[in-house]
Chain A
C-alpha cells in the first residue's frame, strides 16, 4: 500500500479580510532551514502594498471606534484560536526557523501568552498613559491616548512567529490598523496567522499581511501619504535609514529597529505608546464658588 499523499496549502495574502493572491501573479520559493521546499509564497508588489493601505484605512474608523473592552475580547479570541491551532504553528515555526519541536513549542506558547497579555491592555493603557491635569485656572482638561491610524509593520526577519506577534498585537491593541510585511525568509507562520485572524472576529482590514521582499514592499509603505506610522523592526540598518528618510515626507511616526536578543522577554509598553497620540481636551469649569454664588 502506498503512503497517502498529503494535501498542500496554497499560501495567500491577507488584505481587507480576504485572501487574495498577489495582483502581480508572482510567487517565491520558501524553504526550510535545510533548503527543502515548503511552499510558494506570494511575492507581493507595490500595488498589493497600496491595496493593503486602502483596506487598513477603511478599517480605522470601526476598530478605533470600538470600545476598548470589545477590542480586548477580540484579541483574546485570537489567543483562543491560536491555542486550538498550536500544533500547526509549532510545526511551521520549527520548519521556518530550524528549531526542535520543543523549542518551537516554547516560541508558540510565548506568542499565545503575548496575545493574552495585550488583550488585557486594551482597556488599561488609557488609564496608565492618560489622565487629568491640574491646570492653574478655572479649567478642566484631560489627556487621552488615541491611535495614530494606519501603521506599517515590518515584522522581524528571524523570529517568524513570536517576533511577529510581538510587533502586531501592540499596534492593534490600541486601536490602530496594520499593514504587516512578514519575515522575508520565513513568511509562512505569518500567512497562517491570517487564517486565525480571519476567524477571530477581527474586522477585515484591521490586520493585513503581505509576504515578499521586505525592501520592495516597505518602500511604498514608508512613502505612502496615508500611512501614519512605520515600525522598522524587520529592516536592516541601510534599509531602515532609507525608509526613515522616506517617512519624513508626511512626518510618519517611526519606530526604529531595536536589537532584540530574546523576543520572549517582557515587552513593556513601548510598542503600544510608540503608535499613540496624546489629545488634550480643555473646558472651562466656571468659577461659581469664587464669585460667591452657590451651586
Chain B
C-alpha cells in the first residue's frame, strides 16, 4: 500500500553515548580482565559495526565474583533496610538522569527501535528500582512473616531481548531484600549491564554487592552450578531452563525460571477491531517479536477472520522497518545472525508444512540482521509455527468457533506464559481468563508491564514470579 506521506528520517543522535573500545568484567567494584584473558566483540545488529571488545568471563572469574559477592553479603545484608532503600533510590534516580544515554546504548547494542528503549524499557527499568527500593525497609510487612532473611549470593543469568530491563527485574528485588548479586548478561548485549556497573559506582554502592560478568553460556552454567551461590534466577529459553533445573537438583539453591512462551491472542467476534489490530501488532511485533510473552498465536473467531485479517494486513503495511535509532522506526533489527537464521529456518518450515506466508512490501537494509513482519494463515495446531517459539516477528493465525474451542486451542501448548482476550463482553473476559493456563492475561490490551504486577509462567514457561510483592519471595528465605 502506498502511503500518503513519506516520513523524513528522524535519527536520535548517538553522540550522547561514549562507548569505550573495550570493557572488563565488573568484580568487587573494579573493572578487570578475564583470568584467561579471553575477549569477545559485541556488534550492532543493525549495521554489524563492532561496538566494543568485552572481557569474556570463564569459570575462574565466576568463582572470583561469587567470592566478592559472598564477602559483600555480610555487610550488605546487615544494613538497615532503610539504608539499602536509599541506595536503590539513588540508582533509580541516576537511571532516570541517564535514561536517554542508556536508551541509545541499548538500541545500538540490541537493535530494537529507540522508540521502544526510550518509551518502554528505560521508564520501566527506573520504575522497577523505585518500586523495590520502597520494599527494602518494609519486608516485615510483605506477608512472609517478621524479619524475613535474604538468601545470600544470587546468581542471575539474563537474555538479550530486554538487556537492561531484565537486569532491573533481577537486581532490584535481590538488593532490596539484602542479597548480593553476580549477574551474567547475554553475549550479544553486554553493554548496558556494564554501564549499569558505572551507575553502581556513581551511586556509591559498596564494592562486591553487584558484580557483572559478560560471557557465554559456559559462564552462565558455571554460575548456576557454583556451590556458594544460594539463589539462581534465569530468564531465557525453556531448554536451558530445564538444564538449570537439573543442575540445582539436590541442592538447597532456590531457583526461579522465566522461560519461553507461545502466547495466544484470542479475538472474539464482538471485539473492537481497530483496537484488537493494534493489540495484535503490539503483541507480536514489539521488539521484533523477540519477547517471551509475545502473542505469537492469533486465535480469531471464524466469522470475523476476513475482516480482521484485512485490517491487520493494512496495518502491517504501515509499519516502518529500518534504522533502530530513527524515532519513526517501528521494527528494528533482529538481535543476532544466529537468531535471524533460527527465525528463517522456522519460517521456511512453516511454508514447507503448508501454511500460507504473507509479508507487506518491505525493503530490508543491506547490512545488519533483518526480518520482515510475517503472517501465517492456514495454520493448524499441528504446524511447527503454531507449536514452537519462533522469537521473531512472525504471527501464526488460527481460527475458532466457540469460546470453549478458543480456550482449548489456547491451552494446547506446553507453555503457559501469556494470553490475550479481545471482546466487549465482560463476563466472557472473566470466564475465559479464568480458564486460560497462563501467568499473565491481557484483556483488551497486550504487552503491558508494571513493577507492581507479578509476571511469570505456568507449565513449561517456568516457575516463580517477578514483580510485585510476589517477586520478593524469590529472594527471601521463606
Q: Which A residues lie within 8 Å of B436 (CB)?
A: 279
Q: Which A residues lie within 8 Å of B454 (CB)?
A: 133, 143, 278, 280
Q: How large is the interface on A (under 10, 10 to 19, 20 to 34, 35 or more residues)?
A: 20 to 34
Mark the stretch among B184-192, B209-217, B309-317, B439-447 that contacts chain A.
B439-447
How far does the alpha carbon of A137 sit from the alpha carbon of B249 in the complex, in Å?
41
Q: Which B residues lie within 8 Å of A133 (CB)?
A: 450, 452-454, 468
How far does the alpha carbon of A133 sit from the alpha carbon of B454 in the complex, in Å?
9
How far does the alpha carbon of A131 sit from the alpha carbon of B257 in the complex, in Å?
23
Q: Confirm or deny: B242 has a beta carbon within 8 angstroms of a beta carbon on chain A.
A: yes
Q: Which A residues lie within 8 Å of B414 (CB)?
A: 250
Write the A251-295 contact mask toward B (1 if CB under 8 angstroms, else 0): 101001000000000000010000001111111100000000000
Partner of A248, one of B242, B441, B445, B450: B242
From residue A103, how far is it (CB to closest CB) to chain B in Å? 30
Q: Which B residues lie within 8 Å of A231 (CB)?
A: none
With A133-B452, A143-B468, A278-B456 as given contacts, are A251 and B439 in contact (CB-CB < 8 Å)? no
Is the beta-carbon distance between B238 and A251 smaller than 8 angstroms? yes
How far does the alpha carbon of A279 sit from the alpha carbon of B443 in the complex, in Å?
13
Q: Which B residues lie within 8 Å of A248 (CB)?
A: 242-243, 245-246, 249
Is the beta-carbon distance between B440 and A251 smaller than 8 angstroms? no
Q: Which B residues lie within 8 Å of A148 (CB)?
A: 458
Q: Tell me the chain B residues, 417-472 only, with Cβ under 8 Å from chain A.
A: 429, 433, 436, 438-445, 448, 450, 452-456, 458-460, 462-463, 465, 468-470
Partner of A282, one of B243, B245, B440: B440
Is the beta-carbon distance between A283 and B453 smaller than 8 angstroms? no
Q: Please give the residue numbers on chain A whose beta carbons come within 8 Å of chain B beta carbons, in ascending order.
A: 128-129, 131, 133-137, 139, 141, 143, 148, 228, 237, 240-241, 244-245, 247-251, 253, 256, 270, 277-284
Is the beta-carbon distance between A280 and B249 smaller than 8 angstroms? no
How far does the alpha carbon of A121 sit from the alpha carbon of B92 in the complex, in Å?
39
Q: Which B residues lie within 8 Å of A237 (CB)?
A: 250
How far does the alpha carbon of A256 sit from the alpha carbon of B453 in the complex, in Å?
27
- Counting chain B CB atoms within 10 Å of each CB, the highest count among A240, A247, A279 belongs to A279
Q: Which A residues lie within 8 Å of B220 (CB)?
A: none
Q: Confirm or deny: B21 has a beta carbon within 8 angstroms of a beta carbon on chain A.
A: no
Q: Which B residues lie within 8 Å of A277 (CB)?
A: 439, 458
Q: Which A residues lie within 8 Å of B455 (CB)?
A: 280
How far does the alpha carbon of A125 sit from the alpha carbon of B241 in the complex, in Å?
29
Closest 7 CB pairs of A and B: A241-B250, A248-B245, A244-B249, A133-B452, A135-B450, A245-B249, A133-B453
- Mind listing 18 A-B residue pairs with CB under 8 Å? A133-B454, A135-B448, A135-B452, A135-B453, A143-B453, A143-B454, A143-B468, A250-B460, A251-B460, A278-B439, A278-B454, A279-B433, A279-B458, A280-B455, A281-B440, A282-B442, A282-B443, A283-B443
Is the beta-carbon distance between B470 and A143 smaller than 8 angstroms? yes
Q: Which A residues lie within 8 Å of B442 (CB)?
A: 281-282
The residue in chain B whose Cβ has the minimal distance to the Cβ of A250 is B460
